Amino acid sequence: MQRRSLMKATALALVLGSGMAVAQEAADDQITIGVSIPSATHGFMGGLNWHAQDTIERLGEVYPNVQFVLSTAGDAAKQVSDIEDMMATRDIDGLVVLPFESEPLTAPVAAVKEAGKFVTVVDRGLSQEGIEDLYVAGDNTAFGRVAGEYFRDNLEAGSKIVVLRGIPTTLDNERVEAFQAALEGSEVEILDMQHGNWNRDDAFAVMQDYLAKYPEIDAVWAADDDMAVGVLEAISAANRQDEMWVIGGAGMKEIVKRIMDGDKQLPVNVTYPPALISSAIEMTALHFVSGAPMVGRFIIGSQLITPENAEQFYFPDSPF
Partner 1 sequence: MKLDLHILGPLVALIALIILGALLNPAFLAPANITNVLARSAFIGIIAVGMTFVITAGGLDLSVGSMAAFLAGIAIIAMNAALPGVGENWGTILLGVGVAILGGVVAGLLNGLLITQARIEPFIVTLGTMGIFRSLTTWLADGGTLSLEYGLRTLYRPVYYGGIGWITWPIIAFALVAILGEWVMRHSRFGRHVEAIGSNDRVARYSAIDVNRVKLMTYVGLGLLVGIATVLYVPRLGSASGGTGILWELEAIAAVIIGGTALKGGRGRVWGTVVGVLILSMIDNILNLADLVSPYLNGAIQGVIIVLAVVLQREKRAADER
Q: Which residues bind partner 1 (CB under 8 A)?
A: 39-43, 45-47, 49-50, 165, 168, 192-195, 199-201, 204-206, 208-213, 226, 229-230, 233, 237-238, 254, 318-320
- φ and ψ at residue 262, rounded to 5 degrees: 75, 35
Min CB(43)–partner 1 separation in Å: 6
Min CB(226)–partner 1 separation in Å: 8
Q: Which residue's CB is nearer to partner 1, number 113 or number 257?
A: 257
Min CB(251)–partner 1 separation in Å: 13
Strand extents, DSSP E, the chain: 31-38, 66-73, 94-97, 118-122, 134-138, 160-165, 189-195, 219-221, 245-247, 269-270, 296-300, 304-305
Min CB(115)–partner 1 separation in Å: 31
Check: CB of residue 191 under 8 Å from CB of residue 160: yes
Q: Which residue's CB is nearer to partner 1, number 44 or number 143?
A: 44
Q: Which residue's CB is nearer to partner 1, number 40 or number 171?
A: 40
Min CB(279)–partner 1 separation in Å: 19
Q: Which residue's CB is nearer to partner 1, number 38 or number 94?
A: 38
Min CB(101)–partner 1 separation in Å: 17
Contacting residues for 108 by C-beta, under 8 A, at least 6 apart: 80, 83, 84
Tell me the three state secondary structure of residue 172. helix
Q: Which residue's CB is nearer to partner 1, number 135 or number 315?
A: 315
Tell me the three state secondary structure of residue 182. helix
Bridge-based pairing of strands 219-221 and 269-270 is: unpaired
Check: CB of residue 220 under 8 Å from CB of residue 245: yes
Q: Which residue's CB is nearer to partner 1, number 58 or number 213?
A: 213
Residue 141 half-sphere exposure, CB side, CA atoms within 13 Å?
2
Residue 319 CA to residue 162 CA, distance in Å, equals 28
